[in-house]
Structure 1
Amino acid sequence: MTVTVENADGIQVVALEGRLDSMNASSVEGQLNGLVTADLNRIVVDMAKLDYISSAGLRLILVMAKQVKQVGGKLVLCGMQSHIREVFEISGFLSILTVVETRADALTAVA
Structure 2
Amino acid sequence: MGALAVQHCADGTAVITLRGRLDAETSDGIEAQLDYILTSEPTLIAFDLGAVEYISSAGVRLLLKARTQMNRRQRQVVAAAANPQARRVFAAIGNLAFDALIEDLSALDAYLPESDEGE
The question of a shared fold, defined as TM-score above 0.5 by the shorter chain, is answered with: yes
Cα shift readout 1:13-61 (whole Å, capped 9, x = no counterpart): 0000000000111110001113225742311000010010000000100
Q: Which moved more, 1:53-62 or 1:26-35?
A: 26-35
Taking the aligned partners of 1:64 and 1:101, their CA distance within structure 2 comes to 20
**CA distance in 2: counterparts of 1:39 and 1:32, whole angstroms:** 11
Distance 1:107 1:26 in 2: 31
Q: How is 1:78-93 mapped onto 2 (pairs within 5 angstroms)?
A: 78-93=80-95
Q: CA RMSD in A?
A: 1.9
Q: Percent identity at matched positions?
A: 28
2:22–2:56 Cα contact (<8 Å) kept: yes
Q: 1:55-70 alignment to 2 at 5 Å?
A: 55-70=57-72
TM-score after normalising by structure 2: 0.83
Contact (CA 8 Å) 1:21, 1:56: kept in 2 or not? yes
TM-score of the aligned structures, taking structure 1 as reference length: 0.89
- Secondary structure at the aligned position of 1:86 is classed as helix
Cα separation, 2, equivalents of 1:24 and 1:95: 18
Deviation beyond 6 Å, 4+ runs, structure 1: none
Partner AA of 2:3 in structure 1 = T
Give the Cα separation in 1 of the matches to 2:98 and 2:53: 22
- Extract unaligned runs of 5+ from structure 2: 114-119
Unaligned runs of 5+ in 1: none
* Deviating more after overlay: 92-101 vs 49-58: 92-101
